[in-house]
Amino acid sequence: MSSAQAQDSKLEDEILAPVPHRHVVFTFPKALRGLFERDRKLLGLLPRCAFRAVRLLYQEHFNRRDAVPGMVASIQTFGSALNFNPHVHALVTEGVLEHGGAFLPLTAPDLASLNELFRRLVLAALVKAQRLSEGFRDRLLTWRHSGFSVYGAQVVLPEETGRIVHLARYATRPPLAQQRVQLRDERTYLIQTAPDPATGATQLALDPLELIHRLAQQIPDPRQHLVRYYGAYANRARRLFRPADEEEGGGGGGPKLDANARADPESEFGTARRQSWARLLRKVLEVDPLLCPRCRVEMKIVSVITDTVVVDSILRHVGEGGGHDPHAPRAPPAA
């Protein structure tokens, strides 16, 4: 929960521009899932191909190459029954952004064309990665029902911050909620699922080893990021697509102040920064760092101490063992 809350705050404060966004889900056929299960590095192809398809479609519509959409993509690898089912949830700007922050809206993008672009880009990327033969790629292109799907019915307006937070948490949710699991007996767990298309069943019975196996399938590789930022939201390009008065404010919702105000720690900007810091800690740690734990009165920041000698002296005075090596061997905690 804490990581999801931190992600929400980053989206609100640093990433998303104050423009409409569309929630788009990119899926691909079951026949290709085994490739991604055996080689998890291929999962990165999905959001890259999804963004490239969006960018090509939008830029073709506006006949512009300098303006780009912004996209935040989250890779999910699970279905309702904890099966391996990789797909991408994305928040995509409903239009393109120019350098300097000007927004060109696009209503009702052609999702059928987006689906076809996504399909061809994914297949081409798999061929280039030598995970798919050109013959099998050509055969897949002849399928009447390709198995690829692009669904994007939900549009979120910039003032609907509650819906943005809800979608962000949905896109980054864990594979299984605790309330969906029930222990039937010592050898069987019951998992609540969405209705099965064939049987209509809403429960799945698993023995403990099968449950562990299905959960282990969803663990990403080390250092594999499941949330990606593209286009106007890419880390390297983000500042180029923000208005000049927002660049120093940390994103779409940051304070808009001049350089003199930013330099003054007691200015409105300094106050806003401290409030943003405290709000983030409240979201992540679920405690108010500016509330005195003894008298429950709001505290004020007097100064920030960065000198390690002074910090160690204060810690020794309050009995926290300043100067202690955190990596030194220590006794195990008391039972």
pLDDT in tens, 167-202: 888 998 889 888 899 988 888 999 999 888 888 889
Q: Check pLDDT > 90 for residue 55.
A: yes
pLDDT for the residue 275: 58
Long-range contacts of 199-208 (CB under 8 A, 24+ apart): 204/81, 204/82, 206/82
Q: What is the mean pLDDT of the chain?
A: 83
Residue 227: pLDDT band with limits 50, 70, 90: very high
What's residue 184's pLDDT? 87
Q: Is the pLDDT higher at 85 or at 271? A: 85
User: Is a pLDDT exceeding 50 seen at residue 265?
Assistant: no
Q: 111: how many CB neighbours lie within 10 A of its CB?
A: 17
258 token code pair = 């001049």
- Work out the burial of residue 175: count CB atoms within 10 Å of its CB; fewer than 13 is exposed, 13-18 middle, 19 or more buried: middle
How high is the pLDDT of residue 303? 79
Alpha-carbon distance values, 154 to 81, 85, 211, 221, 334 (Å): 24, 22, 33, 31, 52
Does residue 249 surpass a pLDDT of 60?
Answer: no
Q: Which pTM does this prediction carry?
A: 0.71
Mean pLDDT within 276-302: 74
Band the pLDDT of 11: cuts 50, 70, 90: confident
Q: Is the pLDDT of residue 331 over 80?
A: no
Q: Which helix (H) or strand (E) holds 292?
A: none
Q: Which residue has the tokens 């304070």?
A: 255
Query: Do residues 299 and 287 make contact, with C-beta atoms less than 8 angstroms apart?
Result: no
Percent of the chain with pLDDT over 70: 79
Q: Domain ranges in the chain?
A: 2-173+221-241, 176-217, 257-317
- C-alpha dihedral sign at 86, 161, 274, 290: negative
CA nearest to 25, candidates 123, 137, 129, 154: 154
The predicted structure's pLDDT at residue 333: 53
pLDDT grade for 263, boundaries at 50, 70 and 90: very low
Alpha-helical (H) ranges within the chain are: 2-10, 33-38, 45-62, 111-128, 134-141, 161-171, 208-216, 259-263, 268-285, 308-317
- CA 202 to mean position of chain CA atoms: 28
Angle at CA 146, nearest 5°, toward 145 and 149? Answer: 105
Question: Which helix H or strand E contains 244, and what residues bound it?
Answer: none
**pLDDT of 253:** 45
- Pull the structure tokens for residue 60: 């073709």
Residue % of the chain over a pLDDT of 90: 44
Other C-beta atoms closer than 10 Å to the C-beta of 334 total 4
- Is residue 27 over pLDDT 80? yes
Amino acid at 75: I
The set of residues, in sequence order, having a beta carbon less than 8 Å from that of 148 and lying 6+ positions away, is: 27, 28, 29, 115, 118, 119, 122
pLDDT of residue 267: 52
Query: Predicted confidence band at 273 (pLDDT cuts at 50, 70, 90)?
Result: low
Element spanning 127, H or E: helix 111-128
